[in-house]
Amino acid sequence: MLLFVGLGNPGPGYAGNRHNIGFMALQAIARRHGISPWRRRFQGVAVEGDLGGEKVLLLLPGTYMNESGRAVGEAAKFYKLGLGDIVVFHDELDLAPGKLRVKTGGGNAGHNGLRSITAHVGNDYRRVRMGIGHPGDKALVERYVLMDFAKDERPLFEALIDVVADNAALLAEGHDASFQNKVHLAMAAKGFNGAAGAEG
């Protein structure tokens, strides 16, 4: 069993926020691969399905971003999962809008959702970092991440979420570099050149 976690805040008021791109990605994966229905589990909502021949639990924590680790820890304990079995999809201020990187472990860069997960299960889980850009001033970050994507940004992020969903089976199979490359090529094909790429 693998655990795919989308980070975000629950409730309709947050649904379109930049901070909720992890939720959006997981919901798109579930739709694209016919995985349903979502049920209340592990202090959030979750659904089990098959991706690339692997059993996967998709989890959207209902604990709010800062306490995401509570939900992730409960699910990981229930299924006796190791850190390598956990893939977390999240917004990344330090990547340009639409860029994507996959990495294992590393710093949490002030991301409270990642910090909470690390506190509950450890640090060396896999992360799908989805760039949302930076407002340019640290004092503006909290407001920026809790704002909806601007109208002119939406085509870029809708494309990114689509290609992540299209290629999610590669992540389930452990082909992180291939996943990154496919996302990069698909974004370029959609006209978003340089929007995603492999971690150097």
Catalytic residue positions, numbered: 19
Closest CA to 35 of 23, 25, 21, 46: 46
Q: Structure tokens of 143?
A: 């407001």
- The amino acid present at 49, given as its one-letter code, is G
- Which residue, chain included where needed, has tokens 């959609």? 190
- What distance in Å separates the CA atoms of residue 173 and residue 54, rounded to the nearest whole number? 7
Cβ–Cβ contacts within 10 Å for residue 34, how many? 8
Question: What letter does residue 150 receive in the DSSP assignment?
Answer: P
- Interacting residues of 160 by C-beta distance below 8 A, sequence separation 6+: 98, 100, 130, 183, 187, 192, 195, 196
> How far is it, in rounded angstroms, from Cα 200 to Cα 191?
23
- DSSP code string of 69-83: HHHHHHHHHHHT--G
Where do we find the tokens 């699910």?
Answer: 75
